[in-house]
Amino acid sequence: MNVLILSCGSRNLLVKYFKEKINHQGKVIAADCSPLAPALYEAHDYVIVPRVDDEHYLDTVLDICKTKNIQVLISLIDPELTLISKHAEMFHNHNVLPIVSSYEAIMRAYNKHAFTQYLDQHGFDILKTWDDLNLCLKDIDNQVTQFPLIVKPLYGSASAYQDIAMHKDQLNAYFNLNTPKVIQEHIDAAEYGVDCYVDMHTKKLVSMFIKQKLRMRAGETDKSVSVHHPKIQATIERFIDMSDYFGILDFDVLVKNDIVYILELNPRFGGGYPHAHACGVDMIQMILNNAKGIENTPEPINYQENIAMMKYSVVQIKHLDSRKKDNDA
């Protein structure tokens, strides 16, 4: 079985895990638009591709799937998920399984205001969120909310361009930048990450791993510790039961005064997935099972608590004169 991992970046461990699972029964091909993406060199083979916003990007990916006999397609960044999900049928027609939810579901998760509204409509506790600056200012004047407030891109990932506004002048300055924004109330709360796998065939939750985030870096979990948290588990189970998401899901969750807030959903591998994998929660095997037509059965949530993950930097040295160009792998 051959797997193509798009926008691999620095996700070396994820590429390594796929290689270990395939175990000479296929190949892992990594792709990125930059030859300086270190995870490229972890794979059996690699391809340099255009940027995801290039008009030829989709055709390039499809050509790679054909020439490399790809059976499983993995995307690791949000803008790419929208493109792959929108054209998922095209990949299915070439016997490629893209691990992605429907286009409508992906776009809902990608739009931070739409996702918060979706949670609210289905009875989940939410943080107050505005996509209209004037409505937010009105609520401030009426003491419905107060500073500090978080200003985020409406569409964004890795916590890029996220700011904290401490007063109205800052709020106006941050919100009126060129990119569409949302404003969200800020609370001091414990932050958790939840990795889930929802079977691609049965659409049932089959695995879950919960970690408390101890430190973040560039929007990814840098240090965390495994926990069992019944209220988080019940909240995520309820969400998955009523929603239309499947495959790999990565939730950001806040807990304050015993109230669970689903902050965001990344319908892909999160940067903290290696923590789950190291604790024996093997969602890569579940993907490979689904690609073979095998349904995964629900696993008991019995991983060990108090297992810490601590990331550290590794240096990789490569001679770029030998790099591969375009899609000639």
The average confidence (pLDDT) of the chain is: 94
Which pTM does this prediction carry? 0.93
Summarised one tens digit per residue, pLDDT across range 273-322 is 999 999 999 999 999 999 999 999 999 999 999 999 999 988 999 887 65
Summarised one tens digit per residue, pLDDT across range 89-109 is 999 999 999 999 999 999 999
Q: Is the pLDDT of residue 329 over 50?
A: no
Residue whose token pair is 């000479």: 24
- If phi over 0 gives left and psi between -120 and 50 gives alpha, with beta otherwise, what is residue 307? beta
- The pLDDT value recorded for residue 49 is 97
- The pLDDT value recorded for residue 158 is 58
Summarised one tens digit per residue, pLDDT across range 191-247 is 999 999 999 999 999 999 999 999 888 778 899 999 999 999 999 999 999 999 999
Summarised one tens digit per residue, pLDDT across range 67-89 is 999 999 999 999 999 999 999 99
Please work out, in degrees rounded to the nearest 5, the angle formed at the alpha carbon of residue 102 by the alpha carbons of 96 and 107.
Answer: 125
* Omega within 30 of 0 (cis) for the link into 98: no
Strands (E), the chain: 3-6, 28-32, 45-48, 72-75, 97-98, 129-130, 149-153, 163-165, 181-185, 190-198, 205-217, 220-227, 247-256, 259-266, 308-310
- The pLDDT value recorded for residue 157 is 66
Please return the burial class of 74, using the count of CB atoms within 10 Å of its CB with bins 0-12, 13-18 and 19+: buried
Summarised one tens digit per residue, pLDDT across range 157-166 is 655 678 999 9
Would you say the CATH fold of 189-310 matches that of 128-185?
Answer: no
- The pLDDT value recorded for residue 328 is 47
Structural domain boundaries in the chain = 3-101+315-322, 128-185, 189-310
For residue 246, give the 3-state DSSP assignment. coil
Residues 6+ apart with CB under 8 A from 28: 2, 3, 5, 15, 18, 19, 22, 43, 44, 45
Q: Which among 112, 104, 105 is positioned nearest to 130, based on CA atoms?
A: 112
- The pLDDT value recorded for residue 24 is 87
Q: Which CATH superfamily is domain 189-310 in?
A: ATP-grasp fold, B domain (3.30.470.20)
Domain at 3-101+315-322: CATH code: 3.40.50.20
Summarised one tens digit per residue, pLDDT across range 111-156 is 999 999 999 999 999 999 999 999 999 999 999 999 999 999 999 6
- The pLDDT value recorded for residue 319 is 85
Residues 6+ apart with CB under 8 A from 173: none
Q: Which CATH superfamily is domain 128-185 in?
A: ATP-grasp fold, A domain (3.30.1490.20)
Q: Which two tokens stand for residue 226?
A: 């495994």
Summarised one tens digit per residue, pLDDT across range 26-49 is 999 999 999 999 999 999 999 999
What letter represents residue 93's amino acid?
N
